[in-house]
């Protein structure tokens, strides 16, 4: 499945997120400088842990969305730089905390920070980054932007707790799973986009359009991530195929295969995921069951639904190269690896 991507990928700067990256390149350089300067601390452990993750080459999709959302309305100020950095810090803090909760070993193809510096350092540096994120938001001085981002921070934390409670429960319904990823992933994508419109002085209609775009893009993004974990090409992932499985994560492909399977298959899923007693042969069987029950295919179909919603959300915004770039991001998200 994975290598179909290479065939489908269009060449040139129009493909994937390159148009978006090009449009925000100058601002993004300033965001990166700000990120580096804001991870500085006399407490050496902080820049060490933070840089480990921040410099490990994430796509920085979320801050790019903030920058593009501000630029598309011709914003000429400075606030979007700090808001974009805040968004990336919130994301990084979540990753640090997630890896502790999930007991993950790897992140973006490297050892997870907690494997190098321990769980305590990961938790506390995550808190530090959250604190820095709030400081930067406050510096921008926009109460509506603060409102949206602080709300997202609360929702994300709520989502983490929700996930902890439903974790390893293979009987989780799709709606419950959607509620978790709406909180954990979609809320920050939505906020990232909406604060761009806010800082650019846009009204409620533009704010909502971008928030809706971001939320649905986030859902599509996460669902494709879920599917790629069982079908992706290693190199495209920054993580190994099957990491979610080994971590006992309940994701949509698992939910669908579990629900569509018979009793014996459900016992298999429960043993592997709830009891976390799985080996490499189990991963092969898991993938085979997903193929048999079309669980990966239908996860991608679900993602395409949210992708379609994201696209339509942008419909009322004026046509611009930025809007085109945001539409291409949806295509990139739903097509990567498939």
**Binding site residues, a copy of itself, CB under 8 A:** 171, 173-176, 205, 208-209, 212, 215-216, 255-256, 258-260, 298, 301-302, 305, 308-309, 312-313, 315-316
How far apart are CB 215 and a copy of itself at their closest, in Å?
A: 7
How far apart are CB 259 and a copy of itself at their closest, in Å?
A: 3
Residue closer to a copy of itself (CB basis): 32 or 166: 166
As a whole number of angstroms, the distance between CA 27 and CA 130 comes to: 22
How far apart are CB 77 and a copy of itself at their closest, in Å?
A: 26
Residue closer to a copy of itself (CB basis): 285 or 305: 305
How many of the other CB atoms lie within 10 Å of CB of 247? 18
As a whole number of angstroms, the distance between CA 58 and CA 88 comes to: 10
Angle at 85 between CA 79 and CA 86, to 5 degrees: 90
CB 321 within 8 A of CB 19: yes
As a whole number of angstroms, the distance between CA 133 and CA 140 comes to: 11
Residue closer to a copy of itself (CB basis): 86 or 212: 212
Q: Which helix (H) or strand (E) holds 145?
A: helix 143-166
Instruction: Collect all residues with Cβ–Cβ distance below 8 Å to 119 and sequence separation of at least 6.
Output: 100
Residue closer to a copy of itself (CB basis): 107 or 311: 311
How far apart are CB 255 and a copy of itself at their closest, in Å?
A: 8
Residue closer to a copy of itself (CB basis): 204 or 277: 204
How far apart are CB 175 and a copy of itself at their closest, in Å?
A: 4
How far apart are CB 201 and a copy of itself at their closest, in Å?
A: 18
Q: Which helix (H) or strand (E) holds 252?
A: helix 252-260
How many of the other CB atoms lie within 10 Å of CB of 173? 12
Residue closer to a copy of itself (CB basis): 260 or 285: 260
For 275, the token pair is 């009891």
């Amino acid at each position: 499945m994975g290598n179909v991507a290479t065939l489908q990928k269009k060449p040139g700067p129009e493909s994937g997120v390159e148009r978006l990256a090009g449009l925000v390149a100058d601002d993004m350089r300033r965001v990166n400088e700000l990120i580096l300067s804001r991870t500085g601390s006399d407490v050496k452990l902080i820049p060490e842990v933070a840089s480990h993750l921040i410099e490990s080459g994430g796509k920085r999709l979320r801050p790019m969305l903030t920058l593009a959302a501000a630029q598309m309305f011709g914003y000429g100020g400075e606030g979007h730089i700090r808001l974009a950095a805040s968004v990336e810090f919130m994301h990084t803090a979540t990753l640090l905390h997630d890896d502790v909760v999930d007991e993950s070993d790897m992140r973006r193809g490297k050892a997870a920070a907690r494997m190098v510096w321990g769980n305590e350092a990961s938790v506390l540096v995550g808190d530090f980054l959250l604190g820095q994120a709030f400081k930067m938001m406050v510096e921008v001085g926009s109460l509506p932007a603060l409102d949206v981002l602080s709300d997202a921070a609360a929702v994300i934390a709520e989502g983490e707790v929700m996930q902890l409670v439903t974790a390893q429960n293979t009987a989780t319904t799709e709606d419950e799973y959607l509620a978790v990823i709406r909180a954990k992933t979609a809320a920050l994508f939505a906020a990232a986009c909406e604060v761009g419109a806010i800082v650019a002085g846009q009204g409620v209609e533009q704010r909502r359009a971008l928030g809706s775009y971001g939320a649905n893009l986030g859902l599509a993004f996460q669902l494709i991530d879920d599917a790629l974990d069982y079908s992706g090409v290693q190199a495209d992932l920054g993580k190994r195929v099957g990491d979610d499985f080994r971590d006992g994560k309940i994701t949509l492909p698992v939910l669908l295969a579990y629900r569509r399977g018979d009793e014996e298959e459900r016992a298999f899923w429960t043993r592997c995921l709830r009891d976390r007693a799985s080996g490499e042969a189990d991963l092969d069987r898991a993938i085979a069951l997903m193929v048999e029950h079309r669980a990966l295919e239908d996860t991608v179909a679900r993602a395409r639904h949210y992708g379609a919603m994201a696209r339509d959300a942008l419909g009322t915004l004026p046509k611009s190269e930025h809007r085109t770039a945001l539409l291409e991001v949806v295509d990139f998200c739903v097509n990567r690896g498939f």
